[in-house]
Amino acid sequence: MTDAYCKLEARFARLSRYAHLGAMAGWDQLTLMPSGGSEARAAAIAELQVLMHESLTDDATRGLLDDVDPSTLDDTQRANLREMKREVDDARVLPPSLVEAQSLAGARGERAWRRCRADNDWQGFLEPFREVVRLAREEATIRAEAAGCSRYEALLQKFEPGMSVAELDRLFADMRQWLPGLLQEVVEHQRATVDYTTPRGPFPQQDQQRLGQRMMDWLGFDFEHGRLDVSLHPFCGGVPEDVRLTTRYREDECFSSLMGIIHETGHARYEQNLPAALRGQPAGKARSMAVHESQSLSFEMQLGRSAAFLRCLRPWLVEQFGDQPAFEADNLVRLAQRVEPGLIRVDADEVSYPAHILLRYDIERALIEGDIEVEEIPGLWDEGMQRLLGLDTRGNYRDGCLQDIHWTDGAFGYFPTYSLGAMLAAQLMAAARRERPDLDERIAAGDLKPLFYWLKTNVWQQGSLYDTDELIRRASGESLNPAHYRRHLRTRYLGE
> Residue 61 contacts by C-beta under 8 Å, 6 or more apart in sequence?
8, 11, 55, 88
Residue type, 455: L
Rounded to an integer, what is the distance from CA 101 to the centroid of its chain? 24
Q: What is the largest CA-CA distance in the chain?
A: 70
Cα angle, residue 466 at apex, residues 284 and 152 outer, rounded to 5°: 95
Cα 249 to Cα 230: distance, rounded to the nearest angstrom: 8
Half-sphere exposure of 401 (CA within 13 A, CB side): 24
Q: Is 138 among the catalytic positions?
A: no
Among the residues of 120-225, which ranges form H helices?
A: 122-147, 151-159, 165-193, 205-218
3-class state of residue 245 by DSSP: strand
Q: Are 338 and 196 in contact (CB under 8 A)?
A: yes
List, in sequence order, every residue forming a beta bridge with 229; answer none if it has no partner. 246
Residue type, 123: Q
Q: Are 22 and 48 in contact (CB under 8 A)?
A: yes
List, in sequence order, every residue forming a beta bridge with 238; answer none if it has no partner. 243
Cα 93 to Cα 185: distance, rounded to the nearest angstrom: 48
Selected catalytic residue, list 83, 131, 160, 264: 264
The residues that are catalytic are 264
